[in-house]
Structure 1
Amino acid sequence: MKRLSGKCFCGTVEYAVDDAFVYAANCHCSNCRRTTGSAFKPFAGIPREKFAITKGAGGLLIYGDAENHDAHCGVCGSLLYSLVREAAWVHVAMGTLTDAPSIRPTHHIFVGSKAPWYEITDDLPQYQGHKP
């Protein structure tokens, strides 16, 4: 299994993840827009046991609780991943990967709350909330 690397903007926090993502999407919800400062967050989902912090775990800023949270670098603020589904899954912020994953986003979610100034121009399916 190929392992991918990722890191925050300043390099304080690094991670490794199997190139075995189960799904990937572009999330347009207001929380993802705020945490990334962008029109949407491309993310890829994987079971938690296939993801590991390899450097700087003590420097993480956790927003949320033990079972569902966003993990940012405590130095530069980069959103690295989100722990979801009662801590069973990790949503890796794809922009933090330093290696190219084999998966690509397959759909857009929460387009009902997308930024009004952003126009989705690809042909990927769009969902008002979560994918049914």
Structure 2
Amino acid sequence: MRYAVTDAFRYAFNCHCSQCRRATGSAFKPFAGIERKALRLTQGGGQAMIYGDPQAAHDVHCGLCGSLLFSVVREGAYVHVTFGTLLDPPAIRPAAHIFVGSKAPWFEIADALPQYDEFPP
């Protein structure tokens, strides 16, 4: 499965919530947010695995390898694209760690980015 997205991301974070940890199988999900209309599936869209409400918030995984490609959020208006699935490095970098109030207890954040228990103010 393949997608195309414009490198015009509006924000980027490292999310430590339990849902993102579960979806990625990792300590956190680095992602960048952009309007949903800026992303289009270019190949294998029929193979997408959707977890959640298809009409609202949901995760889209590749039906072949299972990778989390992006999450549809904010009443379907935005997507959170996982950094690990981008072929080219994005211009944006994560601005902070979010939902550290529920981060994995075995993971220590070792950078100087701001940390927020939930969403940033």
* TM-score of the superposed pair, with normalisation by structure 1: 0.89
User: How far apart are 1:75 and its partner, in Å?
Assistant: 2.0
The whole-number CA distance in structure 2 between the counterparts of 1:70 and 1:116 is 24
Q: 1:4 maps to what in 2? A: none
Q: 1:120 maps to what in 2? A: 109
Q: 2:78 maps to what in 1? A: 89
Unaligned runs of 5+ in 2: none
* TM-score of the superposed pair, with normalisation by structure 2: 0.97
Q: 1:56 maps to what in 2? A: 44
Q: 2:25 aligns with which of 37, 44, 48?
A: 37
User: How far apart are 1:67 and its partner, in Å?
Assistant: 1.7
User: Identity, % of aligned pairs?
Assistant: 66
Q: 1:24 maps to what in 2? A: 12
Corresponding residue SS for 2:21: helix
The whole-number CA distance in structure 2 between the counterparts of 1:68 and 1:57 is 18
User: How far apart are 1:38 and its partner, in Å?
Assistant: 0.7
Corresponding residue SS for 1:32: helix
Q: How many residues align?
A: 120
User: How far apart are 1:37 and its partner, in Å?
Assistant: 0.8
Corresponding residue SS for 1:95: helix
Q: CA offsets, 1:31-80, max 9 Å, x none?
A: 11111111100000000111111111100000111221000112211100
Q: CA offsets, 1:65-108, max 9 Å, x none?
A: 12210001122111000000111000001110011100000100
Task: Report the RMSD for the aligned CA atoms in angstroms.
Answer: 0.7
